[in-house]
DNA sequence: CGTGTTGGATAATGGCGTTATCCATGCGTG
DNA sequence: CACGCATGGATAACGCCATTATCCAACACG
């Protein structure tokens, strides 16, 4: 198919597609002549994934580009590609390690990992962006006067572990080995809005049950 | 305290504080003279909340302004303020109701609510931004070839319901009645990064357990 | 043939968050 | 009591980002 059709089928303007092509987040079409290129279903699918990451997953374009770049980096094995792709996901500000509440949060997070027995995370996790993000969030909550410690976090952590089990089961039952990395990335990024929405709906529902209306 | 001290204690530049004052998301200091205003702990706290919503919760400044505006809108009762504040949180694109996958997703979400017995949500929820967001996410997953239906969502939904119970318990044990709305907003927005980080860490941990490394 | 679409490159646009610049004023320090 | 300097206040400038617009020469296609 040609650019116009790719645009129509994906709902993305030709100008934007050209932009993505320039950014290298969409493979060039098969050149069929000096002024024509041919796109196929794989291009359509990739384009849809890009838009999904951006629109639904709220990734900045540059981040989506980076993530996608790792997803099909043939010089890495599957594990590395996956790790790199997830590592590239957007993260908040760096924690200010000289801040007292950050240090305290650090201890609580460490303690949480110990309580949970997440030994792998404790060992490799030192540098994990997710760990840093967790520390920042906890420190922020504390600074706002909401005491938040390992005991309070643990129930959430156990719930999220169950969610992770479901995530991995989903990936296992599903995947065409070839696209496993892509599946994990999609599941990680696109389930986040699902979980967020479900939590907020559940809050409303539970709140209605408790307090009426 | 004066502007300079407020800036130093919050870690926000005076220029940015002035900007927030202009936006009306921070109450003006008590005028102490034609060229001086006096800020107190409540200003500092509010400023910290604003920065927390923006930095940790990733809210656009305009949204944070809106949310905060509802939090202390004295013309509304507590319930209304809370509803309006949560309603104002950012949401993805509108679902294209003419799209087949959107319609299908709609059905699945309806079915999910039925299965869960979330009757309140089913009744009032028609217009809820969270419901729309959920529909969009499900439709997107389906369009990418990941079949996603009520049965697959239900376990996540139950987990998130448990999370919501914890959320509300937290708010109940905590709150100085006066700041209850603020507490709910903070819990909703600031726990999201916590849950996101915990899920990703749990994924890594569980993945290591299953596949080694 | 000639009309209209293509790939390709470059520039323009619009929004957002922050920062910079100016200014008249009066605080407070010496 | 006088002077340097920070203040509140308003406006303009900046830098980034995502998208769109404009041109172009070359061709595909009816």
pLDDT digits (tens, 9 = 90+) for A128-143: 999 999 999 999 999 9
> What H or E segment, with its residue span, contains residue B37?
strand B36-38
pLDDT band at B126 (very low <50, low <70, confident <90, very high): low
Q: Give the closest residue to D21 (Cα–C1′).
A: A15
> pTM value?
0.94
The CATH number of the structural domain formed by A1-54 is: 1.10.1660.10
**CA pseudo-torsion sign A161, A165, A167, A168:** positive
Place of tokens 């319901």: B161
Which pLDDT tens digit goes with each residue over A1-48?
899 999 999 999 999 999 999 999 999 999 888 889 999 999 999 999
Residues facing B37 on adjacent strands: B31
> Which residues are within 8 A (CB) of B15 and not within 5 positions of it... i.e. 6 or more apart?
none
- Distance, in Å, from the CA atom of A170 to the CA atom of B152, rounded to the nearest integer, reads 9
Chain C bases closer than 7 angstroms to a protein Cβ: 5-10, 16-21, 24-28
Q: Give the closest residue to C25 (Cα–C1′).
A: B35
Q: How far is A96 from chain B (nearest CA, A)?
A: 11
Give the residue, A160 or B177, on which the prediction is more confident.
A160
Interface-testing mutation among A99, A198, A207, with chain B (most B C-beta atoms within 10 A): A198
Mean pLDDT calculated for residue range B108-127 = 88
pLDDT band at A126 (very low <50, low <70, confident <90, very high): low
Asked whether B182 and B71 are in contact (CB, 8 A), the reply is yes
Instruction: Give the pLDDT confidence score for residue B120 in this predicted structure.
Output: 84
Give the residue, A76 or B34, on which the prediction is more confident.
A76
pLDDT band at A145 (very low <50, low <70, confident <90, very high): very high
User: Is pLDDT at B125 greater than 80 in this prediction?
Assistant: no
* Cα three-residue angle B148-A160-B114, rounded to 5 degrees: 40
Asked whether B73 and B67 are in contact (CB, 8 A), the reply is no
What chain A residue is nearest to B46 in terms of C-alpha separation? A144
Give Cα A149 distance to the centre of its chain.
25
Give the residue, A125 or B135, on which the prediction is more confident.
B135
A30 touches strand C (CB under 7 A): no
Give chain B's mean pLDDT.
93
Pairing mode of beta strands B36-38, A36-38: unpaired
CB contact under 8 A, A133 and B197: yes
| Cα-trace Rg, chain A | 21
Asked whether A126 and A156 are in contact (CB, 8 A), the reply is no
Which pLDDT tens digit goes with each residue over A59-106?
999 999 999 999 989 999 988 999 999 999 999 899 999 999 999 999
The CATH number of the structural domain formed by B3-87 is: 1.10.1660.10
Asked whether B105 and B144 are in contact (CB, 8 A), the reply is no
> From the alpha carbon of B33, which nucleotide's C1' atom is closest?
C26
Rounded to a whole number of angstroms, the distance between the first and last alpha carbons of chain B is: 53
The full set of domain ranges for chain B reads: 3-87, 100-211
User: Is pLDDT at A120 greater than 90 in this prediction?
Assistant: no
- Distance, in Å, from the CA atom of B174 to the CA atom of A78, rounded to the nearest integer, reads 46
CA distances in angstroms from B49 to B29, B41, B67, B164, B201, listed in the order given: 17, 12, 11, 22, 26
Mean pLDDT calculated for residue range B25-42 = 90
User: Is pLDDT at A125 greater than 90 in this prediction?
Assistant: no
Instruction: Tell me which chain A residues have a C-beta less than 8 angstroms from the C-beta of B153.
Output: 194, 198
CA atoms within 13 A on the CB side of A206: 21
DSSP collapsed to 3 states, chain A: CCHHHHHHHHCCCHHHHHHHHHHCCCCCCEEEECCEEECCHHHHHHHHHHHHHHHHCCCCHHHHHHHHHHHCCCCCCHHHHHHHHHHCCCCCCCCCCCCHHHHHHHHHHHHHHHHHCCHHHHHHHHHCHHHHHHHHHHHHHHHCCCCCCHHHHHHHHHHHHHHHHHHHHHHHHCCCHHHHHHHHHHHHHHHHHHHHHHHHHHHHHHHHHHHCC
A4 touches strand C (CB under 7 A): yes
Q: What are the structure tokens assigned to B43, written together?
A: 């200003």
Any idea what DSSP says for residue B27?
Answer: P
Share of chain B above pLDDT 90, in %: 83
């Amino acid at each position: 198919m040609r650019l116009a059709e790719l645009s129509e089928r994906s709902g993305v303007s030709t100008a934007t597609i050209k932009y993505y092509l320039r950014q290298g987040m969409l493979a060039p079409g098969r050149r069929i002549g000096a002024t024509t290129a041919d796109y196929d279903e794989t291009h359509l699918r990739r384009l849809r994934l890009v838009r999904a990451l951006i629109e639904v997953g709220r990734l900045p374009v540059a981040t989506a580009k980076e993530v996608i770049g790792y997803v099909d980096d043939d010089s890495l094995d599957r594990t590395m590609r996956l790790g790199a792709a997830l590592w590239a996901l957007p993260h908040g500000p760096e924690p200010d390690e000289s801040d007292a509440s950050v240090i305290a949060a650090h201890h609580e997070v460490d303690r949480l990992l110990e309580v949970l027995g997440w030994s792998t995370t404790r060992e490799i996790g030192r540098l994990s962006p997710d760990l840093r993000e967790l520390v920042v969030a906890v420190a922020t909550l504390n600074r706002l006067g909401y005491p938040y410690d390992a005991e309070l976090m643990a129930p959430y952590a156990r719930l999220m572990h169950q969610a992770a089990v479901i995530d991995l089961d989903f990936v296992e039952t599903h995947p065409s080995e070839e696209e496993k990395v892509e599946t994990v990335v999609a599941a990680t990024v696109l389930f986040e809005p699902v979980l967020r929405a479900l939590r907020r709906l559940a809050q409303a529902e539970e709140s209605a049950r408790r307090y009426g209306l």
